[in-house]
Amino acid sequence: MKKRILAALLAGVTAFSLAACSSGGSGGQAEDNGDAEETEIQVFIAASLNTVMTELAEMYHEEHPEVKITYNPDSSGTLLTQIREGYECDIFFSAAQKQMDDLEADGLVEAGTRADVVNNQVVVVARKDSGTSVTGLENIGDAESIALAGGSVPAGRYTRQALINMGMLPETDDPASITTEQVSEALGGVEISEQDNVSKVLAAVVEGSCEVGTTYYSDTYGYEDDLDILQTVSYDLTGNVTYPIARVVNEEADEAQSAAADDFLAFILSDEAEAVFESYYFDTDVE
């Protein structure tokens, strides 16, 4: 049997009681939930989506009080590994195409459900009181310490790709393969604290344990008084930072669970949800 993701077993998992939906993907606009069957769906989300998805869950709850949605927020690479290992998952919302491509290649994406939702951008950040001389990636090695996501984490991979395109790291077909130690060496031996998701990168900078770090623009929401954005890294350097979503093959799901997952996915792709993503600094102009 696949392992169930429960809040008591995984740190960072957030559960919401949300409504059961009618089959046929109402996008959060069910007409009558009175006889709807209670169910639960497992939604794996990139850590950088945790705040916005919390608000979207609350919105969905108003129309659908009988569906329990359990979020599992972590790096997209970690989530991919968990799905491959058999953790029960109904929806995967990744911070990069690579992890979704790999899942699809494994035959674990429900056909016709994959969609690109938002774009993001990598930013170099520091505490407002840090006094850092760093202005961006071009002189990030001047920092005393850097918080950097590992190569398997999309933000860490995007940062490595940008450094490659700037000539600061050697060319490679797989930026994720460049270790933190290699990045440090290329930047003159600067101390780098490797983190396993962007939320931990952000925390390391906000708490002052690292002078600078690279995270996503959307992660700075709510920290405007605490952080300075030193550089917003262009797509020319990182490549597109696009977040895809899809239904995951879940052989344990019954009819009610599958219908709820379809409906919640439709809601995430709705115009109503788009406005919320934009308010949290995501770019919804996805080609």
Region 70-83: what's the mean pLDDT?
96
- The verdict on residue 103 lying in a domain is yes
Q: Residue 4: which pLDDT band, with cuts at 50, 70 and 90?
A: very low
- The verdict on residue 181 lying in a domain is yes
Give CA–CA dist 236/142, Å, rounded: 23
Q: Are residues 234 and 127 in the same domain?
A: yes
CATH of the domain at 226: 3.40.190.10
Q: Are residues 191 and 222 in the same domain?
A: yes
pTM of the model: 0.84
- The verdict on residue 161 lying in a domain is yes
User: Structural domain tally of the chain?
Assistant: 2
Give CA–CA dist 79/84, Å, rounded: 9
Q: Are residues 231 and 216 in the same domain?
A: yes
14-38 pLDDT, tens per residue? 554 444 333 334 444 444 455 678 9
Residue 137, classed as helix, strand or coil, is helix
Contact (CB, 8 A) for 37 and 87: no
Give CA–CA dist 65/36, Å, rounded: 10
Q: Residue 75: which pLDDT band, with cuts at 50, 70 and 90?
A: very high
Domain encompassing residue 137: 122-238
